[in-house]
Amino acid sequence: DTEVTQTPKHLVMGMTNKKSLKCEQHMGHRAMYWYKQKAKKPPELMFVYSYEKLSINESVPSRFSPECPNSSLLNLHLHALQPEDSALYLCASSQADRGRPQHFGDGTRLSIL
């Protein structure tokens, strides 16, 4: 069982839809992350929140909008996505100190029609 919970596990949406991906952890971690992973590729960092503040945005298009309502929750709001945005979206959390390992959820498999 993973300690980082992501919902939904699968999501199919049209290009005009608005949906949200959710991530939750109760390990007391103060850093949370969103990654995008395409097939046979490594996870690519999208956003980092540290102490509920956005600290890294890897030049992600504005159709992806992250939100960290509190230290346990991380959302990724999706709007007007493109077919190339279809991928596995992984959430992770860690202690905020340098070099601490990240704990990953099992991801949301997103398909854009």
Partner 1 sequence: DQQVKQNSPSLSVQEGRISILNCDYTNSMFDYFLWYKKYPAEGPTFLISISSIKDKNEDGRFTVFLNKSAKHLSLHIVPSQPGDSAVYFCAASAGNNDMRFGAGTRLTVKP
Rounded-to-integer distance, Cα 33 and Cα 54, Å: 10
Among 38-46, 59-67, 69-77, 79-87, the segment contacting partner 1 (CB under 8 A): 38-46
Residue 23 interacts with partner 1 (CB under 8 A): yes or no: no
Shortest distance, CB of residue 63 to partner 1, whole angstroms?
A: 22
Q: Which residue has the tokens 């509190």?
A: 70
Shortest distance, CB of residue 18 to partner 1, whole angstroms?
A: 25
**Identity (one letter) of the amino acid at 26?**
H
Residue 105 interacts with partner 1 (CB under 8 A): yes or no: yes
Shortest distance, CB of residue 77 to partner 1, whole angstroms?
A: 21
Q: Is 53 exposed, middle or buried (0-12, 13-18, 19+ CB in 10 A)?
A: exposed
Rounded-to-integer distance, Cα 70 and Cα 48, Å: 14
Closer to partner 1 by Cβ: residue 42 or 83: 42
